[in-house]
């Protein structure tokens, strides 16, 4: 049919790669779409209790009314039994809140994070600009406090307990576990450098997250924009655990060359915010 669907924003939770394009829609919020090639077809909502549809030419505006999945079909006539020429799947989702406590590590030696609690709103705001808009998962700042530790954390904070031939004293990740905020959904520890492999002096990881321990260790050396992407990426790890792997493109890619990519797929969004699926 040559019908194309595009979002006003690249971060609005639209996955148009499948046979049926899919849009995440928060309850009581709107998403705007450019839908071209539908001349002569009439839109019909299968469950009007879930979605409200308006047109501000050339933009189609969807508004979420109640949680769940429905379809908008473009049909050639209003008869009930006519086969749609084109359909859009819409999943209306409730908001999922993630309370995050941020601790700024100061060991009085090499690990004194350069980050400042004053900037946490900007960081979380940008991360929400990636995550909330696509998934309706919203990060809330529970705490943002300096944390002085007595241990010498060395030049690189390591997660190395997986190696039998690395001394236990090298695993500062293990030392940080005790400082978690147990009332938070996630505790983020900001440090200067972090690695979780055998080559601590080669910079591979920006951060790492354990969904079981609800903790994340997050290193310093990135700009605000890159840090916001990393935070959004880590929150997906927190919420998805082992259900999602790294990808070659998009927000879940691990490559620094994809650092400008923020896209999440329908599957990824549904795993981290399953609202509306049942």
Partner 1 sequence: MLRFLALSICFFVILSCSSSLPTHQSNDSLRNEVSDVFSSIRNNKVATKSLKHHGEDIIHYVASYINDDDKRIRLEAVNVLGTVSGEKAMAVLATALSDPSKSVRDQSAFYLYQYMGSHVVDLKTTPIQLEHELKKAYHLNEINAAAILLTAFTQLDIDSFKQNLQPPRQVYLFKEGPNVDITLPITMLLSYRGEHKAREQMHQEVETKDINKLKFMLQAITSIDSSTLLNRLAFNTLSDNRITDVKTAEGTVYQKRIMDIAYEAFVLQLGIQNLFPLKINQQYSRYDILRLQKYIGDHLPLA
Which residue, 223, 251, 221, is CA-closest to 235?
Answer: 251
Q: Does 150 bind partner 1 (CB under 8 A)?
A: no
CA 263 → CA 22, 224, 260, distances in Å? 13, 18, 9
Using CA atoms, how far apart are residues 219 and 240, in angstroms rounded to an integer?
22
Which residue, 215, 216, 274, is CA-closest to 244?
Answer: 274
**Residues 6 or more apart from 25 whose CB is under 8 A from it?**
13, 31, 51, 62, 63, 64, 90, 91, 92, 93
Out of 202, 223, 260, 278, point to the residue binding partner 1 (CB under 8 A): 202
Which residue, 96, 19, 24, 15, is CA-closest to 62?
Answer: 24
Q: Does 198 bind partner 1 (CB under 8 A)?
A: yes
Out of 211, 226, 261, 267, point to the residue binding partner 1 (CB under 8 A): 211
Nearer to partner 1, 3 or 259 (CB): 259
Q: How far is the CB of 95 from partner 1 (least distance, A)?
A: 24
Segment lying near partner 1 (by CB under 8 A), choices 14-22, 29-37, 99-107, 213-221:
213-221
Nearer to partner 1, 94 or 258 (CB): 258
Q: Does 110 bind partner 1 (CB under 8 A)?
A: no
Binding mask 156-175 toward partner 1 (x if CB under 8 A, else -) reads: ---x-xxxxxx------x--
Q: Does 245 bind partner 1 (CB under 8 A)?
A: yes
Give phi and psi for 154, each to the nearest 5: 70, -170
Out of 18, 248, 274, 277, point to the residue binding partner 1 (CB under 8 A): 248
Sheet containing strand 51-56, strands side by side: 4-7, 30-36, 59-64, 51-56
* Sign of the C-alpha dihedral computed for residues 259, 265, 268 and 273 taken in this order: positive
Out of 7, 21, 200, 276, point to the residue binding partner 1 (CB under 8 A): 200
Q: How far is the CB of 196 from partner 1 (least distance, A)?
A: 4
Segment lying near partner 1 (by CB under 8 A), choices 23-31, 60-68, 142-150, 251-259:
251-259
Per this entry, what is the length of the chain? 278
Nearer to partner 1, 83 or 242 (CB): 242
Q: Does 221 bind partner 1 (CB under 8 A)?
A: no
Q: Does 210 bind partner 1 (CB under 8 A)?
A: yes
Q: How far is the CB of 257 from partner 1 (least distance, A)?
A: 9
Quick one: DSSP state of residue 94? -
- The neighbouring-strand residues paired with 71 are 89
Residues that bind partner 1 in the complex, under the rule CB under 8 A: 155, 159, 161-166, 173, 196-202, 204-213, 215-217, 237, 241-242, 245-246, 248, 254-256
């Amino acid at each position: 049919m040559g019908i194309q669907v595009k979002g006003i924003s690249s971060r609005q939770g639209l996955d148009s790669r499948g046979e049926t394009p899919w849009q995440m829609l928060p309850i009581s919020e709107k998403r705007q779409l450019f839908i071209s090639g539908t001349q002569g077809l009439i839109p019909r909502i299968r469950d009007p209790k879930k979605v409200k549809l308006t047109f501000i030419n050339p933009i189609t505006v969807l508004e979420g009314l109640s949680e769940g999945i429905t379809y908008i079909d473009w049909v050639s006539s209003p008869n009930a039994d006519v086969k749609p020429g084109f359909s859009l799947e819409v999943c209306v989702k409730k908001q999922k809140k993630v309370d995050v406590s941020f601790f700024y590590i100061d060991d009085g030696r090499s690990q004194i994070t350069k980050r400042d609690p004053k900037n946490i709103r900007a960081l979380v705001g940008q991360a929400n600009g990636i995550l909330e808009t696509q998934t309706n998962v919203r990060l809330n700042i529970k705490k943002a406090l300096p944390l002085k530790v007595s241990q010498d954390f060395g030049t690189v904070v390591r997660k190395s307990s997986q190696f039998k031939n690395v001394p236990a004293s090298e695993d500062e990740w293990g030392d940080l576990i005790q400082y978690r905020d147990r009332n938070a959904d996630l505790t983020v520890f900001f440090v200067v450098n972090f690695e979780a492999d055998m080559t601590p002096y080669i910079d591979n990881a920006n951060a790492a997250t354990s969904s079981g321990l609800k903790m994340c260790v997050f290193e310093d050396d990135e700009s605000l924009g890159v840090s916001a992407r990393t935070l959004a990426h880590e929150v997906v790890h927190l919420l998805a655990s082992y259900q999602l792997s790294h990808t070659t493109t998009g927000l879940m890619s691990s490559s620094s060359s994809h650092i400008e990519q923020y896209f999440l797929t329908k599957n990824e969004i549904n795993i981290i915010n399953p609202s509306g699926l049942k």
